[in-house]
Amino acid sequence: MRLKNKVSIITGAAQGIGLATALKFAEEGATVIVCDMKADGVDAALAMVRARGAQAQGYAVNVTDRQALDAMVAAVMAHYGHIDVLVNNAGITKDARLQKMTMEQFDAVIDVNLRGVFHATQAVLPAMVAQGSGVILNASSVVGIYGNFGQTNYAASKFGVIGFTKTWSRELGPKGIRVNAVAPGFVETPILATIPDKVLQQMREQVPLHRLGKPEEIANVYAFLASDEASYVNGAVIEVSGGMTV
């Protein structure tokens, strides 16, 4: 078990990549802290994590709410005494062409995808600095590297996450804290549920493997980066896209 007894907070853990990551971490022996804004989703995910034999807690927290994040971290520290891994996975999309994108759409995505990462990381940082160790894993996207039609807000947020990752790896590396990002391509998640089949097929054709990724394939990368096997990996942005950007 590569993550035995590592207390790991995963945001956006009620579905998709976040849920797959929570389950993978549970299988690897981690103590899993399920964090999501949907209370019913937290309860369901928590049951699945515990069914795999892992210690776990769940918190219905919106990453845009700094006070709620601070309260969650305080509760985790009071119970376990340490926080070893933070996976900043929570994210949303509100797509529109530039000319039609509203400030509400723009701000909503930036608040969750960018400010949420900032808030969650600041919240856990005192614990990690005090213990002299920790791993912060940020969810970026290939869209944050290459852009995508109709996703000005999403692309900006995910490019910003890369900036966070590069900067924090320099700031926090000397304190024993590693910071890395994962940039998935097209993955079978609820975000894609509203996309027509014809468009999904076009997406598959852009990938040399001719298929979409599975959440578990992203979770596997997170598990590696969180483990001691990745002890010299810092400041990296790892694309997991089936080769679509080649």
Residues 61 and 9 sit within 8 Å (Cβ to Cβ) = no
Residues 98 and 22 sit within 8 Å (Cβ to Cβ) = no
Q: What is the pLDDT of residue 191?
A: 74
Q: What is the pLDDT of residue 208?
A: 95
Determine whether 59 is an active site residue. Answer: no
Q: What is the pLDDT of residue 190?
A: 83
What is this structure's pTM?
A: 0.97
Within 10 A of 45 (CB to CB), how many other CB atoms are there?
Answer: 25
Q: What is the pLDDT of residue 183?
A: 98
Report the distance separating Cα 155 and Cα 172, nearest Å. Answer: 25
Report the distance separating Cα 142 and Cα 219, nearest Å. Answer: 16
Residue with the two structure tokens 């790991």: 8
Stretches where the chain sits below pLDDT 50 are none
Give all domains of the chain, ordered by start, each with its CATH number: 7-184+215-238 (3.40.50.720)
Q: What is the pLDDT of residue 124?
A: 99
Q: What is the pLDDT of residue 195?
A: 80
User: What are the φ and ψ backbone dihedral angles of 35, each rounded to 5 degrees?
Assistant: -125, 125
Residues pairing with 88 in the sheet: 138
Q: What is the pLDDT of residue 193?
A: 76
Q: Exactly one of 80, 154, 222, 232 is catalytic; which is it?
A: 154
Q: What is the pLDDT of residue 196?
A: 85
